[in-house]
A = this chain, B = another copy of it.
Amino acid sequence: MSAPSMTLHYNPASPFARKVLVLLHETGQAERVLLKTTIVSPISPDTELNEDNPAGKLPALRLADGNVLHDSRVILDYLDHLHAGSPLVPREGSARWRRLTLASLADALLDAALLIRYETAVRPADKQWDQWLDGQQEKIERSLSYFEQEAVTELSTGFDIASIGVACALGYLDFRQPDLNWRNSYPRLANWYADVSQRTSMQKSRPPV
């Protein structure tokens, strides 16, 4: 086994970094990547991360030649071209854009959940704004409702870019919004998640307790 040739700026609490870890495990590439833990938020940047990604965000992937790729979608697309198995991002046809749209909705859910996290855990209490929190939480609920009613059968057809995105989004809700009890409202999605969360890739990338 050769030494890791790539370095991933990541944090075990980052759901966008988790998508990368899951794809690495699903495609047998976990040992190609060295994990470099970075703690960062929009108000506490990390100098070394900023040098590799001026946006100051996780994840970022430094390649052996020194080039750096970001954000998570670009990294996922790149890593999906490096393995010999079936692509996890369909290369063409209507499946490509359907699966990418589902993955995009999972990312939008995560963006809303992260904005809620920053509002409640980073911003001073007297500057928090309920209307903003409500608007972001409604994005999450509408997305969950869509996955439940329109997409759960499709998600069950394979653990690909769409399924990875939705699974990591649900895992992040469990991590940061444990009182949401989303399973009560979205039982089919809960069943699907109970199944996929047993995968080795999901187990090996679980956020901290």
Interface residues of A (CB under 8 A from B): 41-43, 45, 50, 53-57, 67-71, 73-74, 77-78, 81, 92, 94, 96-98, 100-101, 104-105, 107-109, 112, 118, 123-124, 126-129, 131-132, 134-136, 138-139, 142-143, 145-146
Contact = CB atoms under 8 A, between A and B. Distances in A.
Query: Within the oligomer, what is the number of copies of this chain?
Result: 2
Nearest to A97: B78
A41 to B, nearest CB: 8
Contacts of A55: 104-105, 108-109, 112, 139, 142-143
Main secondary structure of the interface of A (DSSP, over half): helix
A146 B54 contact: yes
A54 B92 contact: no
Contacts of A145: 54
Given A50-B142, A74-B97, A43 B104 contact: no
B104 A71 contact: yes
Nearest to A138: B45
A39 to B, nearest CB: 15
Nearest to A43: B135
Given A55-B105, A123-B132, 6 more contacts: A41-B135, A54-B105, A71-B104, A73-B100, A81-B92, A127-B128
